[in-house]
Structures are given as structure tokens and as C-alpha cells.
Amino acid sequence: MPEMSAEQQQALQEKLKSMSPEELREFQKQQCIFCQIVAGQVPAKKVYEDEQSLAIMDINPAVPGHILLLPKEHYAIMPQVPEKEIGHLFLVSKYLSQVLLKVLKAGGTNVFVANGLAAGQKAQHFIVHVIPRKEGDGVLNWEEKLLDNNIRLKVQQVVEGRLNELLGVKKEVVRAEMKKAAVPEKEKGKEQGKEEPLSGKEEKAEEEKEGGEREKEEDEAEPEEPGKEEQPQEAAEKGKSKKPEKKREEKEEGISLDDIAKLFT
């Protein structure tokens, strides 16, 4: 981002206020460094690219090997990304993770998404971070605390309704589950005072709007499935030829996936 004088900034603020949401979105795209990378206007170390996504090396990585996976389309946060693209991005992140485990001899990987400033999001472009991890590297380690059962129930109860709507779960099911959760909840009603982290609502409006937008997109995206039947044959052949190849490579180079899994057993 170029530096701006106070006057320029003020002029920009004025301009932004007068824009329609469409214009604003277009403006954001033009300003977005990652859109410029996608368009090839800004150089980046690209490690993977397909129709929907682009993976580049992070220039300020948590550790060497830190990859940023971007949708080519500009979305600010995850709720704006159409379902199909989210699925695709996480799929690509799995394969990138596999690459990191293999070539960097990483002991693990994190796939990390930050939605919103409060979550540590720095760019205006939705990003999936894929980070190679080694013991003691000091990146993203946290300890979890045992939760009070009442808090668990409360969370469940509060989230369930909206979640079921989003997932398209039938109303009867919602009610039955709510009832179940509600019984112990009443007994321990006093505990509700503890729920501070759940009750603040000031900045909710914007999130909700974005959620709504996304739902619309989702509705458009969902009915597409029948159309895909056109090319299973072709794709199946590609899949066949690919997998045995991969297996062989793993044997040769001794990929550590099994070792990673074995640590748990």
C-alpha cells in the first residue's frame, strides 16, 4: 500500500462513503495486494495454481515454508466464499500440507484461517494459511481448559438453532434437541452469569449482513450438482492414473505420514 498524506486520506474517506456496495467491492479488489498477485501485477513465489485458487509463499512467514492459499476471486472473509470454493480450498490445503510434511520433514502442519480483525486477519483477502510445524517452533501452541458442563450445554443450546437452519436440519429435530438441552439448563440457571464471552453483541450487525449475503450465494451454488455428471468418466481415468503413482513415490522417499499418525498409537 502506498503512503498517503492526510489530505489524500480524507479525500479517500469521502470517496468511499459515496460508493455503492458494488463499487466498494470493486474498489477493494483494485486495492487488494492479493488480487494484484492473482492478476500477475505483483510478483510472488507461486507454488500451486488452478482455476479457483493460487498458493504462494508468505513473505513474512511464521516459519520457512509457510504457504498462503488464496481463492482467485476476492472475498474478504470465509462466510462470503461459496461452498464449493471452500471445499476446494481445504482440499488443496490438504495436498499442500502433504507436500510440506514430505519435503520439509515437518512433524505436522497447521491449516489456519482468520476471519475478522479480532481473529488476527491482516489482509482483506480471504486466506488459508498452511504452516509446517516442528516441535518447539513456538508457533500456535495452546493448552485447552476443561469446560464446565453447563457452559458446554449453554454453547450447544445457543448455537444449535442457527446452525440447524444453516445446515437445513428439520425443525422437529431442532425442537427435540433443544428440549433435551433445556432440562439440565434450568436446574443450573445460576451459572448463566458466567457466560460473559458469549453475550456481547455490539459488532454483530455487520457479520450478520455478510452471513446473509453468503447464504444467497450458497443457494445459487447448491443446485449445480446434477450438472457435474458430465465428466465423471474422464475424471475417473485421471484419478486412476494418479494414485498408484503417488503411492510409489511415497515408498521411495519414505514420506513420514505414517510416522506422524503412529505417534498417537
| Least distance CB 164 / other proteins (angstroms) | 7
- The C-alpha atoms of residue 124 and residue 32 are separated, in whole angstroms, by 7
**70 phi, psi to nearest 5 deg:** -120, 140
| Least distance CB 249 / other proteins (angstroms) | 8
Closest-CA residue to 153 (of 185, 130, 183, 129) = 185
Cβ-based nearer residue to other proteins, 26 or 224: 224
Closest-CA residue to 132 (of 20, 260, 3) = 260
- The C-alpha atoms of residue 98 and residue 257 are separated, in whole angstroms, by 8
β-strands 46-49, 67-71: how paired?
unpaired
Cβ-based nearer residue to other proteins, 19 or 173: 173
Long-range (24+ apart) CB contacts under 8 A made by 38-43 are: 38/70, 38/72
| Least distance CB 6 / other proteins (angstroms) | 26
| Terminal-to-terminal C-alpha distance of the chain | 49
Cβ-based nearer residue to other proteins, 7 or 202: 202
Cβ-based nearer residue to other proteins, 74 or 79: 79
| Least distance CB 76 / other proteins (angstroms) | 12
| Least distance CB 23 / other proteins (angstroms) | 25
Let me know: does 55 contact 96? Beta carbons within 8 Å: yes
C-alpha angle 118-123-127 in degrees, rounded to nearest 5? 95
Cβ-based nearer residue to other proteins, 58 or 74: 58
Residue 95 cell numbers, joined: 495436498
Cβ-based nearer residue to other proteins, 15 or 94: 94
| Least distance CB 15 / other proteins (angstroms) | 27
